[in-house]
Structure 1
């Protein structure tokens, strides 16, 4: 062994011993025994929220789990979630930023990765008072309904054509297209994909920017948890700078288009227009405006599609629920018109299906982590300053102490008891709660319910030939959001008159 290697190993050992002595001062939550340097990283199963839920059966509903040298506290029941997100909300309102999120957010100049403080409060105010108001959400309804109509027409063409008869469709494909087109239209006023499914040059650039960002973030994952090994995984400053420049150039080009259009017509409809007109009022930097727009893209591209694919899988698995949903739609809507968002209030069972899917399959099952601003106590244990806290909303929503038949897909439970899903009832937290609750929850819910309503109203869904309903695989893929490991395929059988499948494009 070389002298340099000996020195490095000795340095690491000293650091580890120092950390252990430091942490002994606290009464930490129980948890699996960590290894030197790597902590519990080698023991954590790929689907983390399931792994942590299983560990909670052994160690209790609050656990210490070490990601390298960083303490992560996992809470897995309603009472502890309330302590984190309500009673100690302000002390746990920061975000831990990785090197990649530090770069992407320009040191927390956006909303998602901003630390709690004056900047966060200001940007949050812009979102709640200006961007996601009921009036603005209603003004965006034509976009959502247009994209959902395009989805229905696309499925009808794929399953109703001569080539498509007798073939299954991959369900995820269609809500993914809706989510992509919807978020780019409401954020940037751009539909990058035309009626034939071809993407324009800006759309291709947009997709490449998103893909490059994901690759850059993934390249640093392991080193993020072990700071004194980061020299082995250096940050590619040039790659991040190039990615940031591409993102900024595309965004600014779209902004210039909007500025010219606004000067000609005076229109102020899309989020990019709103932010530009609010820039002076709220003293928003260009980094913050661009960061907010890309926060919306990040949140709006995957989660609506995920939140639709899971209930569709459950509906194919549960013919009883599927039939009951059709009965409600036929009774309220009939078969001579299409559903629209104003019908939601008269479709309680459809709303219950949405809630039940969010209970069993929350799109972000561990939420984004919170970071302790100061030392705090949760469940009688010490949570030292700088620790990360994760709320396992997946485990909470399946807790048999709170939910009857917790793993059963039974929408009726929300008819028997109305449960809030926007952060006021700590049994069900798909959008988080407290200071970090998702500001765009209602926007997402409107789109999800619209997609679900149309998919059910226009089609009967059946499992592939030779497969029983219960054969649909509900395994989750590893990751921050819960994609299905095996995307669901099903037969889509039209059930309405053919003219109701035709989209009439909305120029908004």
Structure 2
């Protein structure tokens, strides 16, 4: 009797299991998934990704459409490659896809997803976003740091003047500008110098930032096929861990010094680390900001602010050098509006529409993050009639949008005039131009980055005539890029400058 009961019990459970499996099958059949290439076993569609994934995805979208589904190993990945899809993911379904995938870069280089960029959607991230908007990047605070940006811009222009009529690597000068500006705003001083007691030299720190952006954007196999993660087949995790140690050593020194300074009776918070430490000490915070969180935020601020402006300006100057007629139009506007007796200030940009157009055209063709930072669907949703299931990784290709003839005439041509009189901005509401992203996960420091890009391009064009070295012409200039979270030039721009303003301005 007992045996019969056991058999009946088992049969009942098997029946329930069969019904569940049938239900899952029926559900999966009913899902209307976006089109895409057929995945291979185990690797999915990783075989279709070349050294420049943003270009690979663009080619695939030409075949499968503006919304397509791939598989990267074990994980579904949906790619949006049109302004309409960008709006759907970043605005209409912003909350549904506001999470971040758990990638190795976030774990090993950002104190286990503790920074602003990689922290998962939830109370900690919402608190971080609020800190950025209300404290770190408020209009009042950015205005209070304008003197720093002005001083460092003058230092850049003096340095270029001293190097007049010689071949220069523009990237080095631009990196110094952005690193010095961000260091002073975030850390209170230039911790990177050439003294014997320096924690890290400028060259070492720049290499650390370059490595961070590369490793944050790589296609690490273990992120797609988790059971291979422990093998670290590409060696990326080893590099991430080594880089993390370097950054931690530097940031520990920064925090120790700031905490020591804060004990002085006349102490006043001056930089962003001071502000972060004060916020961390607030007992009313919804989620306590630990020491590693302060370090993660500080690293995020340093990296984001340094890379975006320097890389964009180098691309912009590369494009202008290839088209002398653009330089002529820009300098005509500068001479008419500013004259030749002073430098451009940030408040002047509103009166320089062609300079602003050059900056926008650069960000259209050469966005800092061509695929933005990947998102993760927190819940099921429908986009363009297709089912996006919870756990799907979401990629928005602003690189593809910037090259789409549906929105841009002659999209591969560098033509700033296309922005004149159009009112298109970079604040995340015009979905044809999203260099800083959009929605809840938009870059919180976009206003600062935009200011640095505009004022740098304006002053470089105002202060100097530019040409290629004697043994080079515009046809020789490679426009190849390197892929990471950002896409810098593969070969740094080499150029020659000649002063075009009175000599006394370069000594200010």
TM-score range, shorter chain: 0.7 to 0.9
Alignment-derived partner of residue 279 in structure 2: 278
| Per-residue Cα deviation, 1:299-326 (whole angstroms, up to 9, x for no partner) | 1222111110111011101111111111
Work out the CA distance in 2 between the residues paired with 1:51 and 1:294.
30
Once the two structures are TM-superposed, the CA of residue 193 in structure 1 deviates from its matched residue by 4.7
Work out the CA distance in 2 between the residues paired with 1:322 and 1:348.
14
Contact 1:317-1:471 at 8 Å conserved across structures: no
Scaled by the length of structure 2, the TM-score of the pair is 0.87
Q: Given the alignment of the two structures, is residue 437 of structure 1 paired with residue 442 of structure 2, yes or no?
A: yes
**Aligned match for 2:138, one of 133, 140, 161:** 133
Alignment-derived partner of residue 78 in structure 1: 83
Q: Which moved more, 1:210-219 or 1:35-44?
A: 210-219
Contact 1:91-1:376 at 8 Å conserved across structures: yes
Alignment-derived partner of residue 56 in structure 2: 51
Once the two structures are TM-superposed, the CA of residue 259 in structure 1 deviates from its matched residue by 3.5
Q: Given the alignment of the two structures, is residue 383 of structure 1 paired with residue 382 of structure 2, yes or no?
A: no
Alignment-derived partner of residue 125 in structure 2: 120
Contact 2:217-2:483 at 8 Å conserved across structures: no
SS in 2 for 1:42: helix
Work out the CA distance in 2 between the residues paired with 1:81 and 1:322.
33
Alignment-derived partner of residue 227 in structure 2: 228
Contact 2:221-2:228 at 8 Å conserved across structures: no
Alignment-derived partner of residue 163 in structure 2: 158
Work out the CA distance in 2 between the residues paired with 1:39 and 1:114.
27
Work out the CA distance in 2 between the residues paired with 1:243 and 1:377.
40
Contact 1:337-1:500 at 8 Å conserved across structures: yes
Alignment-derived partner of residue 363 in structure 1: 368
Once the two structures are TM-superposed, the CA of residue 34 in structure 1 deviates from its matched residue by 1.7
Gaps of 5+ in 1: 1-18, 160-164, 504-508
Work out the CA distance in 2 between the residues paired with 1:156 and 1:276.
40
Contact 1:261-1:267 at 8 Å conserved across structures: no
Once the two structures are TM-superposed, the CA of residue 265 in structure 1 deviates from its matched residue by 3.8
Q: How many residues align?
A: 477
Q: Given the alignment of the two structures, is residue 253 of structure 1 paired with residue 253 of structure 2, yes or no?
A: yes
Contact 1:370-1:389 at 8 Å conserved across structures: yes
SS in 2 for 1:416: coil
Alignment-derived partner of residue 112 in structure 2: 107
| Closer/same/farther in 2, CA of residues 260 and 210 from structure 1, 3 Å limit | same
Matches within 5 A, 1:187-266: 187-193=186-192, 201-204=198-201, 210=209, 221-233=220-232, 244=244, 247-262=247-262, 263-266=264-267
Contact 1:144-1:182 at 8 Å conserved across structures: yes
| Closer/same/farther in 2, CA of residues 44 and 119 from structure 1, 3 Å limit | same
Once the two structures are TM-superposed, the CA of residue 70 in structure 1 deviates from its matched residue by 1.5
| Per-residue Cα deviation, 1:271-329 (whole angstroms, up to 9, x for no partner) | 01111122233342222211111111221222111110111011101111111111111
Contact 1:220-1:233 at 8 Å conserved across structures: no
Work out the CA distance in 2 between the residues paired with 1:81 and 1:21.
30
| Closer/same/farther in 2, CA of residues 484 and 243 from structure 1, 3 Å limit | closer
Work out the CA distance in 2 between the residues paired with 1:237 and 1:364.
21
Contact 1:100-1:216 at 8 Å conserved across structures: yes
Once the two structures are TM-superposed, the CA of residue 153 in structure 1 deviates from its matched residue by 1.4
Work out the CA distance in 1 between the residues paired with 2:25 and 2:503.
69
Q: Given the alignment of the two structures, is residue 303 of structure 1 paired with residue 300 of structure 2, yes or no?
A: no
Alignment-derived partner of residue 268 in structure 1: 269
Matches within 5 A, 1:154-193: 154-159=159-164, 165=165, 167-193=166-192
Alignment-derived partner of residue 344 in structure 1: 349
Q: Which moved more, 1:32-41 or 1:254-263?
A: 254-263
Please tell me the root mean square deviation across aligned C-alpha atoms, in Å: 2.7
Work out the CA distance in 2 between the residues paired with 1:65 and 1:321.
41
Q: Which moved more, 1:292-301 or 1:226-235?
A: 226-235
Work out the CA distance in 2 between the residues paired with 1:215 and 1:110.
17
Larger radius of gyration: 2
Work out the CA distance in 1 between the residues paired with 2:400 and 2:211.
32
| Per-residue Cα deviation, 1:349-402 (whole angstroms, up to 9, x for no partner) | 111111111111111010000100111212211111111011000111221111
Contact 2:464-2:500 at 8 Å conserved across structures: yes
| Per-residue Cα deviation, 1:464-496 (whole angstroms, up to 9, x for no partner) | 335443543222222221111222222211111
Gaps of 5+ in 2: 1-23
Alignment-derived partner of residue 426 in structure 1: 431
SS in 1 for 2:395: strand
Work out the CA distance in 2 between the residues paired with 1:249 and 1:266.
25
| Per-residue Cα deviation, 1:135-164 (whole angstroms, up to 9, x for no partner) | 1001111111122211111111122xxxxx
Scaled by the length of structure 1, the TM-score of the pair is 0.87
| Closer/same/farther in 2, CA of residues 323 and 241 from structure 1, 3 Å limit | closer
Please identify runs of 4+ aligned residues in structure 1 that moved more than 4 A: 19-25, 197-200, 205-220, 234-246
Contact 1:145-1:450 at 8 Å conserved across structures: no
Contact 2:200-2:250 at 8 Å conserved across structures: no
